[in-house]
Amino acid sequence: MSDLLSMRQVRAGYGLSNILEDIDLDIVPGDTIAILGRNGAGKTTLLATIMGQTTVTSGKIFWRGGDFRIVPAARRAHMGIGWVPQERWIFPSLSVRENLTVAARPGQWTLKRVEDLFPRLAERRRNAGNQLSGGEQQMLAIGRALMLNPSLLLLDEPMEGLAPVIINEIRLAIDKLVRESGLSIVIVEHKAKLALSIARRALVIDRGRVIHASDSRSLLDDTPLLTRLLGPS
């Protein structure tokens, strides 16, 4: 199976400062990868690099075999990448439905399908973005990314700061995406065991370098290794 996205010996960061060092990453269609690491390890920078938001100082990035480094950041979503950043970036004055449809692209993900995945959004469709709870805003941010009909979905700390009941709803939705959508998904998540229970593969980053790569189940089952890599959970 050919790679959807590949990174080879990528160094990247902000301005003159490199955060990522010699990153290798391969993502195939339908893949699910948990990116783990301590605070400041470079996890968010990795997603930002895929989206063209950092300065790449060396290495190669390919999207469907083509050189991705030359693609402007503004075009990357149109080429098939959906990004849900920590800040969510929903439009506060637009309704839920307007947020979902403002940048929608044709494909399998329709308004109805997103509302079926997140019934709360159907219930709140006429509310403005700033009238939603934090959990509902997160659902909206994920739904809006899906409405782009991406091939690759990047989720940056999707469970951060949410109530347990909302975490469970979002986790079930992501589980459904993994099982049924055919999407490739990369999830950065501070809750390591939660991320490992969702993803098929795991990558651990420390100081901008990949220090561990394995299937998620083997890492989840190896508590001493998980603790050594990430600290007590």
**Structural element, H or E, at residue 7:** strand 5-14
Instruction: Decide if 178 contacts 153 (C-beta within 8 A).
Output: no
Residue 23, SS3 per DSSP: strand
pLDDT in tens, 126-184: 999 999 999 999 999 999 999 999 999 999 999 988 899 999 999 999 999 988 888 99
Could you tell me which of 160, 168, 172 has the C-alpha nearest to residue 85?
Answer: 160
Mean pLDDT computed over 195-200: 94
Q: pTM higher than 0.85 for the full model? A: yes
Whole-angstrom distance, CA of residue 210 vs CA of residue 143: 30
pLDDT at 1: 52
- How big, in percent rounded to 5, are the helix, strand and coil portions of the chain? 35, 30, 35
pLDDT at 53: 94
pLDDT at 123: 95
**CB neighbourhood size of 161 (10 A):** 11
Please report how the helices 164-180 and 134-146 are oriented relative to each other, as an axis angle in degrees rounded to 10.
Answer: 10
Tokens of 138: 């997160």
What letter represents residue 29's amino acid?
P
CATH superfamily of 5-228: P-loop containing nucleotide triphosphate hydrolases (3.40.50.300)
- How, if at all, do strands 152-156 and 81-84 pair? parallel
pLDDT in tens, 43-69: 999 999 999 999 999 999 999 999 999
Kindly tell me if the per-residue pLDDT of 93 is higher than 70: yes
Nearest-5° angle of CA 156, CA 157, CA 163?
145
Domain assignments of the chain as residue spans, ordered by start: 5-228
pLDDT at 15: 86
